[in-house]
Homo-oligomer: A and B are copies of this chain.
Amino acid sequence: MTLEEYQKQVDNWAQTLEKPYWSPLSQMARLIEEVGELARIYNHKYGDKVKKPSESPDDIEDEMGDILFDLMCMANVEGVSLSKAMNKVINKSLTRDKDRFKKKTKD
């Protein structure tokens, strides 16, 4: 499914609700909450945090899905095409930043 189709599918779901989208600052707070949950899992997996035995198994995939879902809701409210946004950032990586990171060298 394309990014546009995902955004549309999220909107189709949202439009079934009495209040389709939260206010922008509520959406932002939720995004922070979801990013914080991913940070917790990263700290368990890659950082110095030790799991408490009571913690349930973490699922990076689920947290990333939640972040992407939030971002799509925010994009829908703003009228932003994430597809267009991605094309811009990929293009920027390939051009503007092309000398910013060290490239592999041919042997």
Q: Which residues of A contact B (CB under 8 A)?
A: 1-3, 6, 9-10, 13, 15-19, 22-26, 28-40, 42-43, 45-50, 52, 60-62, 64-69, 71, 74-75, 78, 80-86, 88-90, 93-94, 100-105
Please determine whether A17 and B103 come into contact, CB atoms closer than 8 angstroms.
Answer: yes
A69 to B93, CA, bound (A): 10
Shortest beta-carbon distance from A57 to chain B in Å = 15
Look across to chain B and name the residue whose beta carbon is closest to the beta carbon of A44: B29
**Which chain B residues lie closer than 8 Å to A10 at the CB level?**
90
Query: Top 9 closest A-B pairs, CB basis?
Result: A36-B36, A65-B85, A26-B47, A22-B48, A25-B25, A65-B89, A32-B39, A26-B48, A29-B39
Task: Name A28's contact: one of B25, B50, B88 (CB within 8 Å).
Answer: B25
| Max chain B C-beta neighbours (<10 A), residue from A16, A81, A105 | A16
Interface SS majority for chain A: helix
**Which chain B residues lie closer than 8 Å to A46 at the CB level?**
23-25
A94 to B48, CA, bound (A): 19
